[in-house]
Structure 1
């Protein structure tokens, strides 16, 4: 078997890779942001490489990949493990569930944490088709991972990076919460259908219109940009309407400093019944802890919107008005999130935890986004 050193050239969809004792650690945010700007929640999320993949061209019929993951869980709450998807010439051929790796367990009651060390996952692909092909390992959307070793029975080389670069920023829904495997997140589904090269900046609990995220997007190569904003601002009760509107304008202005004419799509929140008319903060329904499905609730008061507190309905109206007020920017577009997932969709595809879409809803959202954004007349339609 030929051992190929893992290198940044083999990895798509990340800001950079860090060389650690075990190998290479992909990061979705650059070092200067990780060192200064992010909080512990975002630090955990950015290290989970949603949308990232190792991609090689090869004639090999056997390839082996060694990885060591780090998962985050909560005491008394079971969370699904991550997985790595194997895609050959754009066809998904297998999902490898992670069974090893380190575990960080958080205690919501005390704020404490504990860490348990684990082993290495060995992923073996054999009986691959003969001839030259592209093999991709899509990395887990919900666990951090160190890339340790890559072996094959024929040489491998970096796969060409083709397709328009689509930079997307959003919340845990964009990162992939509640889906079961990395190519099942709605942005990956949309990117695959559209032939786009995804760089996913969806971060659980962290789409908060942070100025440093605007600077990251400003400085990241992009042919297409989308921003799905609102749900985290509501469920963290992070802003009032007075501060939300200028913050979004400032976020857009910063991005435009680096991408003055790039198609930019502003996407409002999907339907989420608990926050449609009720402000945050959101919380876990403590009565559901220890059950099969933990549920989220909104703890605000609907009447508080008169004091400027935010609900999803208020945010949709505000984002539509922001987009309309920037009509001097012909490449800025607006998409109502209810066109991706609306109240009627909850009948067939309910939110399992009252907040995040399940796997089938992710597919629905991804297919609709591909049609509405990349299809004829969409913000990202090819010229």
Structure 2
């Protein structure tokens, strides 16, 4: 097992070029493939999740292994089912074979797709025979993974009759659905919310165009966390390639961190133009944080760690999708925070809270990452307050391959074993 022991720099003042948004990259890649793949987007993410899609689309082998990339599994299922690219077996890691996909498969079957399970019913691997689909109307529970809905929306413009999706009950992760609709429209599609619970995609094909992908607000969250946990009052980080008014759901990080005393300053606020964002302390933070992460669940680990290390009790809700991520993130957070001396409680697998309860902390805690990139990324900034070890640090390649290189350039010392 590989381990990294981290040591923080004495002075935190640096400029960092963030990775490109994998959320936008993956959506744009599928759209470009539906257009025939003649022109790839510029500033494409180099993370694992995007690389597996690039490789699959380039080679189109009979067996496509998307490894641990949940987005790739959902998006490629819809793509392969709706295009005349022959028959494929779509598979992934052992964890992926236990992540549910029945809701998406059922929806595609209702549109006429030919998909069968090659293993356990309701889970990958899938055997998919590609064909043109007519489209039509679907009804899907709104509290399922937004990636199911996004996968369907991406193929919507190419369906003969378009697509109408009615979402029932509570709608979670709405910003990710809005990001998908925005990306569709960037490529000329006619797609919109036509009522509070219904999305309509009309049968108007995509238009090919040069496309530049902005950088990743999710990756920005870990640099916000470093500024927050640094004891240096004039700590400053400058992040390149972010946009004011971004459609990325995790751009809400700037608002949430303002509650924890971090100020966000844009060099330019010109719409649609990436710019440099400067992070600084403003000296004031809330004494307790209550927040509903229903629209940005991937930020949960960042704020659980930050609040505990800043001694800020919290109550976080809207976490129902965390159990079906790369790992059971609620269980993982409770386990690893206990190593640091914090006792967290969960409610009905969809809420996490910390009321200040503590236990004996380990002297040099080794944080397990559970094949989950966000565990390594979110726990690393703890080193500003105490020494830590990160187990299996390579997991960051899923979304932020250059993370450890960026830390060293900023002044971190990483002892590798």
TM over 0.5: no
More helix by share: 2
- Bigger RCO of structures 1 and 2 (CA < 8 A, at least 6 apart): 2
TM-score (norm 1): 0.29
TM-score (norm 2): 0.27
More strand by share: 1
